[in-house]
Amino acid sequence: MTKPNIIALVGAGGKTSLIRHLAGEAISGGQKVLVVTTTHMLKPTACGVLNNNPGAVKAMLDKEMLAVVGLPSGEDKITFCGMPLYNRICSIADLVLVEADGAKRLLVKVPLATEPVIPDNADAILCLASLSVLGAPLGEACFRLERATEILTTGFGQKAWAQEPITEAMFVYLLQKGYLEPLRKKYPDKMVRPVLTHADEEAAQQLGQHLLQVLNEPDGWILGNLPYSSYAALF
């Protein structure tokens, strides 16, 4: 049996929107897609399998080419289905998309040592960061502000970082030191790629290209208008 491609998405600024888009593209190409979270994500409005039943997952994949699998967690969220079920159902999909990080709907994040939660069988990790945070006060836009402050103080010295508007240098440094370098060190066998989101206008796309050059990440992605993707209402 062919091993599925397994992609974990981390960071902030459009993980679920990108998962919907990637899933829709794969389904259009005839692939069966499994969507899970190792943390929390919004409860699906379609194609959800929330009963921990592997037979129900297979039936949903056979019927819809998509299954969003998790356990209910509060009124509007789902959480991880557990490793036994996860390991079992990965083998029946062509593509597995894992929302592996939480950001409380903020647009920039620096993870704690226990984050993100990457499955061992993941092939690739996409690290999202939203270009729309540039110019916003760090304290208003950043999840895990205390950790971001520690990183910035190490790189640039002591400041009242919460009040500082996010500059290009801060944006790049937080992405590099928060996600790219630690993840490559921890997972040398996995592809780790930055994804700059909310590049909805030409100017933002050019800025994204510039920041990828600063990061020395020529294979990074620059994405815009994900909420308006034809797959935005997929689940």
pLDDT by residue (tens digit) across 157-214?
Answer: 999 999 999 999 999 999 999 999 999 999 999 999 999 999 999 999 999 999 999 9
Reported pTM:
0.95
pLDDT of residue 75: 82
For 6-45, the pLDDT digits (tens) are 999 999 999 999 999 999 999 999 999 999 999 999 999 9
How many whole angstroms separate alpha carbon 198 and alpha carbon 167? 16
Q: d(Cα 170, Cα 192) in Å, to the nearest integer?
A: 20
According to DSSP, the β-strands at 48-49 and 66-69 are parallel
CATH topology of domain 5-228: Rossmann fold (3.40.50)
Residue with tokens 């039943």: 53
- Spans of all domains in the chain: 5-228
